[in-house]
């Protein structure tokens, strides 16, 4: 069975109604990165950070996977598919994808403030009551915090993403600017003989000289084109 690795970014979930963080109107326009997405910001005002992610969870619980998510999940009927996502939502899983690597954490999970990456202290938040408040404690007695990889923190699942590219037969990039590292560097681990497809309605500048098939469409329409014209 051929193996496909798909890297997805914020553009993957836009059609579901979730906003992006970057670009005009993105969340970073309203919430300074250093206040809500860094360890320093969390230490300075944990209540602000907890409420920021509470809002993100409320938004997530009110949207559904789009056709693009569902089409990616359907590829598992014919291929071995690994989804590597920069997104913290769970829309790939809700659409049916069974092998998802979250590089930047998972919004519907919480973890220890003392040891964020210790799996013994990571928990899935109940739905719909998924809000975190000051005084909610992890199993180690520390304040529960969002299970999010913030700026300045290591990306622990990067090695898993790189390993997934071993013996891959196709690499697909959807809805990401390729400006955020280390995720953007995954392209450097794709063997030169492997076809690369980039799905995005906008032009994406890629800092490499390899041939890339650009599909200038949104996520759902682009994945449909990928399946019909390139993976059939």
What is the predicted pLDDT for the residue at 20?
Answer: 62
Strands, DSSP E only, in the chain?
3-8, 80-85, 100-102, 105-112, 123-124, 144-148, 170-174, 196-199, 213-215
- Using alpha carbons, select from 190, 188, 212 the residue that is nearest to residue 199: 212
Number of helices and strands in the chain (H, E): 8, 9
d(CA 60, CA 47): 20
Tell me the per-residue pLDDT of 138-165, one tens digit each, with 9 for 90 and over: 999 999 999 999 999 999 999 999 999 9
HSE toward the beta carbon, residue 85, CA cutoff 13 A: 25
pLDDT at 26 over 60: no
**What superfamily would CATH give domain 1-17+67-104+155-232?**
TPP-binding domain (3.40.50.1220)
- Using alpha carbons, select from 171, 161, 170 the residue that is nearest to residue 85: 161
Tell me the per-residue pLDDT of 185-205, one tens digit each, with 9 for 90 and over: 899 999 999 999 999 998 888
DSSP summary character for residue 19: P
pLDDT at 28 over 50: no
Q: Are strands 213-215 and 196-199 parallel, antiparallel or unpaired?
A: parallel
Tell me the per-residue pLDDT of 40-65, one tens digit each, with 9 for 90 and over: 999 999 999 999 999 999 999 999 99
d(CA 213, CA 230): 10
Asked, colleague to colleague, whether 1-17+67-104+155-232 and 19-62+109-148 share their fold, the answer is no
Q: Which architecture characterizes domain 19-62+109-148 according to CATH? A: 2-Layer Sandwich (3.30)
Site of tokens 């071993």: 166
pLDDT at 70 over 50: yes
What is the predicted pLDDT for the residue at 134?
Answer: 98
Contacts of 193 (CB under 8 A, 6+ apart): none
pLDDT mean over 63-82: 98
Structure tokens given for 220: 């759902």
Comparing 82 with 176, which gets the higher pLDDT?
82
The catalytic site residues sit at: 104
Measured in whole angstroms, how far is the alpha carbon of residue 154 from the centre of its chain?
15
**Do the Cβ atoms of 65 and 16 come closer than 8 Å?**
yes
Task: Give residue limits of the domains in the chain.
Answer: 1-17+67-104+155-232, 19-62+109-148
Torsion from C-alpha of 183, 203, 106, 63, nearest 10 degrees: -170
Site of tokens 């690795």: 5
- Using alpha carbons, select from 114, 153, 146 the residue that is nearest to residue 130: 146
Average pLDDT in the chain: 92
Neighbours of 121 (CB within 10 A): 21
Q: Are strands 170-174 and 123-124 parallel, antiparallel or unpaired?
A: unpaired
Comparing 179 with 154, which gets the higher pLDDT?
154
């Amino acid at each position: 069975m051929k193996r496909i690795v798909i890297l997805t970014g914020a553009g993957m979930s836009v059609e579901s109604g979730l906003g992006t963080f970057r670009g005009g109107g993105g969340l970073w326009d309203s919430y300074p990165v250093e206040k809500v997405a860094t360890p320093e910001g969390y230490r300075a005002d944990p209540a602000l950070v907890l409420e920021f992610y509470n809002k993100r969870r409320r938004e997530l619980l009110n949207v559904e996977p789009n056709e693009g998510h569902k089409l990616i999940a359907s590829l598992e009927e014919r291929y071995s598919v690994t989804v590597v996502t920069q997104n913290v939502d769970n829309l790939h899983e809700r659409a049916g994808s069974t092998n998802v690597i979250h590089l930047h954490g998972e919004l519907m999970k919480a973890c220890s403030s003392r040891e964020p990456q210790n799996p013994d202290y990571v928990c899935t938040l109940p739905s719909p009551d998924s809000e975190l408040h000051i005084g909610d404690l992890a199993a180690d007695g520390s304040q529960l915090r969002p299970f999010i990889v913030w700026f300045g923190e290591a990306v622990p699942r990067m090695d898993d993403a790189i390993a997934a590219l071993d013996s891959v037969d196709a690499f697909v990039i959807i809805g990401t600017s390729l400006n955020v590292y280390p995720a953007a560097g995954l392209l450097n681990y794709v063997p030169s003989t492997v076809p690369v497809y980039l799905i995005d309605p906008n032009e994406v500048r890629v800092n490499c000289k390899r041939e890339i098939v650009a599909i200038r469409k949104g996520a759902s329409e682009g994945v449909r084109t990928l399946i019909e014209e390139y993976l059939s």
